[in-house]
Amino acid sequence: MPYPRLLRNLVPCLLLSTGPVLFADSLSRKVLSTADGGWGADAQVNGTTQATHQNFGGSQIIAAKDGGARRKIYLRFDLKGVPLDRIAAARLRLTIASMDLTQSAQVDGITFRVFGLNDGARAGAARLGEDWPEMEITYGNAPANVHDERMASVGAGIERGGQARILGQSTLQGSLFSVGQSFTLLDSVGDPRVLNFLRADTNGHVTFIITRVRGSPDDNLLFAAREHTRGHAPPTLELDFHP
């Protein structure tokens, strides 16, 4: 019977593992953050009248808001050395640094939309490109930005700040989360758009643009930036790879 031999091989795996049993053909994982590499960066931009041309790249928090607040999040991850052709799954995660939500947001949630800036987007017409400096980006010069606080400029363009593609959206139900917890904003399971976006990269870095599409102006949900000093994790991109 083959079962005793199988059990002898399996027991050491069980004893050494603190999580799921990993076999030789299991996926490997790499977690990137906006604090990693030369290209890592994060910033929020604010489209209210007094802040359109103000930079918030040094802020400890980032937020996306609609309802007249006009805030969007820009995240860039350094992909140098990442085997893009072997990516099997991807998750974009943010950590809650502060939250003050209405009852509606506690029950019905807040919905965010995620865009991917086109690979090779170039600066022009007073817009920054894919290499946007964290300490210079504003609502007025952000790549692929439009006046609509819920959107980015969608299309295949790469000139004049470029355009972006929609990668998905996700709803955070406030009653299920608390400060310090991480929230998966984008998951490739069942939706290949983010995988296609990552695999198409040619220059070693990608930019995600996050907007809020449902929420009250009174809902304040702030995420930790890479500058956060209270121990909350910066934005992360979790990648699983085929062997």
What is the radius of gyration, based on Cα positions, of the chain?
A: 20
Phi, psi of 32 (to 5 degrees): -100, 150
Q: From CA 183, how far away is CA 73, in angstroms rounded? A: 15
Residue boundaries of the structural domains of the chain: 27-241
Q: From CA 45, how far away is CA 51, in angstroms rounded? A: 8
Asked if residue 3 has pLDDT above 70, the reply is: no
Of the chain, the percentage scoring pLDDT greater than 90 comes to 76
| Per-residue model confidence (pLDDT) at position 5 | 42
Q: Decide: pTM greater than 0.85.
A: yes
| Per-residue model confidence (pLDDT) at position 76 | 98
Q: From CA 237, how far away is CA 37, in angstroms rounded? A: 13
Q: Which residue has the tokens 């609502």?
A: 139
Two tokens at 68?
């007249």
Two tokens at 70?
């006009």
| Per-residue model confidence (pLDDT) at position 26 | 65
pLDDT tens sequence across 202-243: 999 999 999 999 888 888 999 999 999 988 999 999 999 999
Q: Which residue has the tokens 């030369």?
A: 38
- Measure CA 238 to chain center: 10
Task: Identify the bridge partners of residue 113 per DSSP, sorted by sequence position.
Answer: 169, 211
Two tokens at 92?
């974009």
Q: What is the mean pLDDT of residues 133-153?
A: 97
